[in-house]
Amino acid sequence: MTDMKALKKELRREALARRDALPVDWRIEMSLQMAEAAASVPLDPGTVVSGFWPMRSEVDSRPLMFALREKGARLCLPAILDKTTIVFRELVRGAELVGMSFGTAGPGEGAEVLDPEIMLIPLAAFDRRGHRIGYGAGYYDRAIGKLHDKGMRPRMIGVAFDCQEVALVPDEPHDVVIPEILTETGLRRFGSSL
């Protein structure tokens, strides 16, 4: 393991330990508060928004996704196809959800595959530059790369708690910088990539 990978692993472990230590009731309240931020997101009806089904102590993005649905968004969730690939399947009311990897849930194989225009992205840690540490598998980096290959430039918004911020995330060439991070204290914008 390279020094950079070891450092990322340690930063991930520390940030997740801080997140895990947050009281459950507080995490729920803050997740609901973040959903209120959806009121400020400009959204055309029919805009495709990818969210994520929460796992472990993550921000519960479901209230945020449902607030965006009320504004006319089409929702989708990631589905892991194999060890390197995710696609985004449409989430519609009443559709049965199936178990996915990592203990999450999502639409089954019959759901339409969509290309998101706005991506709510889970993360383990982030820094003030918008660099993120995911969970180590690289699914989102590859999925974003595929969207870019299609000529798409989705609006990417990381979703986390403030306690997941670290001083500096080590840069690697394949890393995707997230220009916006939504936390319980609001939406932060980074750099000139907007």
- Has 89 been labeled as part of a binding site? no
- Has 77 been labeled as part of a binding site? no
- Has 7 been labeled as part of a binding site? no
- Has 124 been labeled as part of a binding site? no
- Has 134 been labeled as part of a binding site? yes
- Has 137 been labeled as part of a binding site? yes
The region that residue 139 occupies, defined by phi over 0 for left and psi between -120 and 50 for alpha, beta otherwise, is alpha
- Has 136 been labeled as part of a binding site? yes
- Has 64 been labeled as part of a binding site? no
- Has 58 been labeled as part of a binding site? yes
- Has 11 been labeled as part of a binding site? yes
Amino acid letter, residue 141: D
CA gap 62, 90 in Å, rounded: 14
- Has 146 been labeled as part of a binding site? no
CA gap 81, 144 in Å, rounded: 15
The DSSP annotation for 87-117 comes to EEEEE-TTPPEEE-GGG-EEE-TTSPEE--S
Annotated binding site for ATP: 8-12, 132-140
Annotated binding site for substrate: 58
Annotated binding site: 8-12, 58, 132-140
